[in-house]
Amino acid sequence: MRRFIFSVLGLCLCFSLLHAGGGWTLKKGRGFFKTESRFLSGNSFFGDDGLVVSGLGNTSFYIHSFYGEYGLSDRFNLIGNIPLVWNQYQPVNQNPENLRTQIFGLGDIQLGLKYGFFQDKKYVLSTSLYLGIPTGTNPDANLSYVQTGDQEFNQQIQVDGGLSLYPIPAYVSLGTYYNHRTQSYSEEIGGYVQAGYSLNRWMIKIFASANFSLRNGSRVNPVQRYSIYLNNSEYLAFGPEIGYRVGEKLALGVGVDLAAVSRNILATPSFSAYLHYEL
């Protein structure tokens, strides 16, 4: 039967950009810089029918990313994300074909530009354009089980809104996007909602997000490749995050991503830890 109990999955790196900053933009000359480590490992996979397949081998990802957002003006922000990816596959049995089972290298870089329509009210609205640069490695499926990117150039248009609950130290942010993918990958639509609350130096966030494939691409996923870069990946996800502000400009935190329903993606915990600095 279909697995509707709460499971956990590894989310693709590009979605760390999904709700970064929300609908707010930085003032001119201000910056937000974040380094994050994300780890996921498991032998279970959500197939195209949403059923969980397991026992064919263990897939692990360790992703360390460098994210930055800088105010070109009070309304325009420049955004970038550079990931380093380590991917390993451990077969259940010996690997007689001698296929590549481990890789480390640069992942797919994301560049973005955000424009804030109005930013001086309790509610804000912005729009962004993100470009996914295919700088990662995706070897031939006949030669390798592992990869650091999907080797497709995508363009994502996103609209974000935010609401400050001042004088309560809390906010709500939500957004929606359309992701145009190339190399015969299907296009995607999705969105998110996020809420945050500050208590002294502590910061608590919860989010829910969704990604749906339009299933208009002809690319066929390799057989028995468990990954976070496959075609027609879909999910309904949520997760908590807790952070602690060390000083006025420095903070650190941890988080976990969870999901209820997914397709074509690893079914395994995704844990993260981060450090960010505000300029």
What does pLDDT average to over the chain?
87
pTM: 0.88
CB 240 within 8 A of CB 205: yes
Q: What is the CATH number of the domain that holds 256?
A: 2.40.160.40
C-alpha pair distances (Å), 260 with each of 88, 142, 193, 209, 257? 25, 32, 16, 11, 11
247 within a domain of the structure (yes/no): yes
Task: State the burial class of residue 120 (Cβ atoms within 10 Å of its Cβ: 0-12, 13-18, 19+).
Answer: exposed
Tell me which residue of 196, 266, 258 sits closest to 19, measured CA to CA.
Answer: 196
Residues spanned by the domain of 192: 13-278
CB 217 within 8 A of CB 181: yes
* pLDDT attached to residue 266: 86
Confidence bin at 143 (pLDDT 50/70/90)? low
Q: What's the average model confidence in pLDDT over 259-269?
A: 84
267 within a domain of the structure (yes/no): yes
Confidence bin at 98 (pLDDT 50/70/90)? low
Q: Which residues pair with 173 in a beta bridge?
A: 162, 194
Q: Which residue has the higher pLDDT, 57 or 183?
A: 183
Please, where are the H alpha helices in 170-221? none
3 within a domain of the structure (yes/no): no
2 within a domain of the structure (yes/no): no
b or e along 136-161 (b: 16 or more beta carbons within 10 Å of the residue's beta carbon)?
bbbeeeeebbbbbbbbbebebebbbb
Tell me which residue of 105, 96, 64 sits closest to 81, measured CA to CA.
Answer: 64
Q: What's the average model confidence in pLDDT over 143-150?
A: 82
CB 31 within 8 A of CB 68: yes
Tell me which residue of 6, 16, 29 sits closest to 272, measured CA to CA.
Answer: 16
| Structural domain count, the chain | 1
Parallel, antiparallel, or unpaired for β 76-91 and 52-71? antiparallel
8 within a domain of the structure (yes/no): no
Q: What's the average model confidence in pLDDT over 233-259?
A: 93
228 within a domain of the structure (yes/no): yes
Confidence bin at 56 (pLDDT 50/70/90)? confident
Distance CA 179, CA 181 (A): 6
7 within a domain of the structure (yes/no): no
Tell me: the pLDDT tens digits for 103-131? 999 999 999 999 999 887 889 999 999 99
